[in-house]
Amino acid sequence: MPSNAKIIAASSVTRALSVIGDRWTLLILRDAFQGAHRFEEFRNLSGAARSTLTSRLNGLVESGLLERVRYSDAPPRFEYRLTAMGLALYGVTLVTWRWEHNWAPSGAGIPRYLRHNVCKHAMQPETLCSGCGKLIEVRDVGYEVAPTAGRSRAATPRFRRLSSVNAESHRGASTAFVHITDILGDRWTPLVLCAAFLGLRRFDEIQSGLEIATNILTHRLNYLVDHRILERRQYSERPPRFEYRLTPKGRDLFPHALMLMQWGDRWLAPASGPNLRVFHKPCGARLSAVVACSHCHKTIDPHDVTFPPVAGEAAARRGAAAG
């Protein structure tokens, strides 16, 4: 079993977060998956300031997730469409919906159910191993670092301040996924969570595993405890010492980390292939996770699922179309 520090450094989660690990980027992708194409549609749904929206849309075009398509010549006007690389984040979007459905505060602006257009039933997205068809649990996943993988320090994200915008100050018409982006819309917090998924519990272990500054780690751990993703438990009385354990709400984010890593492996890995090999212990296969319908158990492809719009969002769409 390789060291946990090496696993985190080698994983594509780090690379994936360097592309989409930002609160506004996550909200823009959310809206793109729900059919937004034009600047004003994104603006109404996300509530982003014009300058923020422009920079994030440009960033997504540069990273290859969106393409800018001209839809009018005079005056020249453009819209944004998901590329194949962007569409491949569909599995991440589905597991995000599932997590918000289970854990976001009530009235968080997400539809109560999803409909699978293939079997025509209401359903929950499930994350399954494509080898054996079983549901994937944190404890069933093993890791192996490729022998050639060097420790890539360049992949470690630079510290970014948490955005001052959060669920309370959010102004967009669509409030779906706001709870999860509050938690994951910064590049360090998901890495602290990865450390927890790998079984690191103590401050020193996590700190050396991630090579993260102690003040940043303290802040992120407190933040995750406040959001009941982790819980703090005393394991020694003298001296008093604590460890951090995943709550059920935290463990339920594992499919999200897994789908993100798989996306990073497919689209961002070095030419030599992903540095981290992940396998499913129950069947021994290289893990290839798929998101499937809880009713018919078929893999869900983009556009197979209808996200029924919630009331405020439908109004915003009409507003954007009229404006």
Binding site for Zn ion (CB under 5 A): 116, 119, 129, 131-132, 280, 283, 293, 295-296
Measured at the CA of 21, the angle between CA 58 and CA 85, to 5 degrees, comes to 60
Q: In whole angstroms, what is the distance from residue 12 CA to residue 262 CA?
A: 7
Residue 209 main-chain phi, psi, to 5 deg: -65, -40
In the complex with Zn ion, the residue whose CB is nearer, 49 or 296, is 296
Tokens found for residue 275? 């540095």
- Please say which residue, 260 or 278, places its beta carbon nearer to Zn ion: 278
Angular region, 116: left φ>0, alpha ψ -120 to 50, beta rest = beta
Minimum CB separation from Zn ion for residue 133, in Å? 7
Nearest approach in angstroms of CB 95 to Zn ion is 16
Query: What amino acid occupies position 213?
Result: A
Q: What angle do CA 269, 84, 160 make, to 5 degrees?
A: 55
What is the distance between the alpha carbons of residues 181 and 166, in angstroms, rounded to a whole number? Answer: 8
CB of 160 to Zn ion, least distance (A): 36
Closest approach, Cβ 123 to Zn ion, in A, equals: 5
Strands 125-129 and 289-293 come out as antiparallel
Nearer residue to Zn ion within complex by CB, 123 or 155: 123
Residue type, 166: N
**In the complex, least distance from residue 34 CB atom to Zn ion, rounded to whole angstroms:** 20
Closest distance of CB 110 from Zn ion, Å: 19
Q: How far is the CB of 298 from Zn ion (least distance, A)?
A: 6
Instruction: Pick the closer one to Zn ion by CB: 185 or 255.
Output: 255
Q: Which is nearer to Zn ion, 222 or 299 (CB)?
A: 299
Give the shortest CB-224-to-Zn ion separation in angstroms: 29
Evaluate whether 23 touches 186 at the Cβ level (below 8 Å).
yes
Q: Closer to Zn ion by CB, 66 or 136: give it.
A: 136
The answer to whether 171 and 310 have CB atoms below 8 angstroms apart is no
Indicate the residue among 120 and 232 with the shorter CB distance to Zn ion. 120
Alpha helix stretches (DSSP H) within the chain: 4-10, 12-20, 23-33, 39-46, 50-62, 84-87, 90-103, 178-184, 188-197, 203-210, 214-226, 248-251, 254-267, 311-322
| Closer Cβ to Zn ion, 163 or 294, answer by number | 294
Q: Phi then psi for 244, rounded to 5 degrees?
A: -115, 125
